[in-house]
Amino acid sequence: MLSILQICNKAPYPANDGSSIAIYNMARGFLANNVQLHLLCINTKKHFKPDEAVPTDFRKQSHYRSVYRNTNTSIMGALLNLFSTRSYFVSRFKFNSFEHELTETLKKKKFDIIQLEGVFMGVYLPLIRKYSEAKVVLRAHNIEHYIWNRHALVEKNLLKRMYFNLQNKRLKRFELSVFKSCDAIVTITKTDEAELHKLGCFKPSTTCITGVDIDIYRQATQVQPKPKTVFYFGSMDWLPNSEAVLWFLNHCWEKIHKAVPDARFVVAGRGMPPSFHKLIAPNLLLVENVPDAAAFYKQHEVMVVPLWSGSGIRIKIIEGMAYGKAIVSTSIGAEGIGCTHQKNILIADNAEDFSKAVIDVLKKPVLRMNLEAQALSFAEQEFDNTKVVSALTQFYTHLLNA
């Protein structure tokens, strides 16, 4: 029986954003595959989730523990960091109380695999090496310095752009050092795995998509459908998401609204930028807090994912397919999922094609229903969480025996 310590930079339950869904579903997949699991996480102020909210069975089975920390950025912290050589993005996640909890865990229990959920947890690599002989594996949710480089490119304030550039250089240096120091890397997509090779990292690696429990998505929900609704659902404090919404509003929505005047565009997700509340567009609705994701998905008809940047995978597309939604996405948005244009999704990479695809789905019920059925079928075949994580545990077994 494999013994795995999963350490995370956020509490995974309730799983209400991409990274927490990825962490929680993998933990459940480990348990379903008879892994002896210990899950230790930082419970941040920004994404705080009380331990008592975690299901009792999961908490017991995963030996769940969290350590509270305010990791929010501050002007003072950012300024003081200028006198350091570390990336401010990374240093916020290294603190004494988590070090103590991790040390005690490693002293009490011998693990086969220690899985770092995201590169920021790489700050604990020296401590792990000191107290454990386990294989350390980085689960790279994204290539982080790619994303922060994008932040710097679009930042209009010169001083902020200079600061982002400095921090991103430090982040890249740190991220490359973690790639080289781990025993293996698990990427979310084949694209990210190829990017690692371009960056000179040739450690043992595998790709493991985020799986889902299809049965949960099949459960009946008493909701009133809202016809002719187009929706975007994601963490709006993540730059690629907010950029995607603005691009869609600026380049597509007017044309769609003219073709289908009673269509509505619903933008949902936590961390809505204040500037979004000033947006003026016909039939636009902002929903900052979604209390029931299942009800939200099932109420609305057409899911759009007009992403143009970011790495990793769009877990919301996986969820959308599991809910059987008709989805229109850019190639970047659908990257790594393996879906097929005009079969289980529509792919469009310019404003004209994207607008036309959405209009077609809104106007053609048969097209929409075919996309919905094929999306659900694809999800059932490819995203079953137990099977997805089983393949990863086999990779870990080979890694231990190599």
- pLDDT tens for residues 306-346? 998 765 457 889 999 999 999 999 998 898 888 999 999 99
Q: Which residue has the higher pLDDT, 366 or 155?
A: 366
Over residues 297-310, mean pLDDT:
90
Same structural domain, 206 and 234: no
| pLDDT at residue number 215 | 84
Same structural domain, 93 and 134: yes
| pLDDT at residue number 179 | 96
Percent of the chain with pLDDT over 90: 71
Percent of the chain with pLDDT over 70: 99
Domain ranges, residue 274: 215-382
Residue 154 confidence (pLDDT) above 80: no
Over residues 359-368, mean pLDDT:
97
pLDDT category at 99 given cuts 50, 70, 90 is very high
| pLDDT at residue number 218 | 80
Same structural domain, 193 and 102: yes
Same structural domain, 172 and 256: no
Over residues 356-363, mean pLDDT:
98
Q: Which residues contact 37 (CB under 8 A, 6 or more apart)?
A: 4, 6, 27, 30, 31, 61, 62, 63
Give the three-state DSSP class for 301: coil
Same structural domain, 225 and 337: yes
For the ranges 181-195, 306-320, 343-357, the maximum mean pLDDT occurs at 343-357
Residue 25 confidence (pLDDT) above 90: yes
Same structural domain, 388 and 377: no
Over residues 260-269, mean pLDDT:
96
Over residues 34-54, mean pLDDT:
95
Residue 178 confidence (pLDDT) above 80: yes
Same structural domain, 70 and 98: yes
Q: First vs last Cα of the chain: how many Å apart?
A: 17
Exposure string over 191-204, b if 16+ CB within 10 A, otherwise e: bbbebbeebebeee
| pLDDT at residue number 313 | 54
Specify the DSSP class assigned to residue 327.
E
Same structural domain, 248 and 128: no
> The whole model's pTM is what?
0.85
| H or E, element range at 135 | strand 135-140
Cα–Cα distance list, 108 to 1, 99, 103, 105 (Å) = 18, 14, 9, 5
| pLDDT at residue number 374 | 97
| pLDDT at residue number 311 | 52
For the ranges 190-204, 281-295, 339-353, the maximum mean pLDDT occurs at 339-353
The total number of structural domains that make up the chain: 2
Over residues 59-70, mean pLDDT:
97
| pLDDT at residue number 308 | 84
Q: Which residue has the higher pLDDT, 201 or 18?
A: 201
Residue 84 confidence (pLDDT) above 90: no
Residue 150 confidence (pLDDT) above 80: no
| pLDDT at residue number 123 | 97
Same structural domain, 174 and 283: no
301 touches 362 (CB < 8 A): yes
Closest CA to 232 of 208, 214, 256, 213: 256
pLDDT tens, residue by residue, 205-257: 999 999 998 888 888 777 888 999 999 998 888 888 888 999 999 999 999 99
| pLDDT at residue number 112 | 98
Same structural domain, 220 and 161: no
What CATH number does the domain containing 375 carry? 3.40.50.2000
Same structural domain, 138 and 260: no
| pLDDT at residue number 310 | 63
Same structural domain, 154 and 125: yes
Over residues 167-176, mean pLDDT:
93
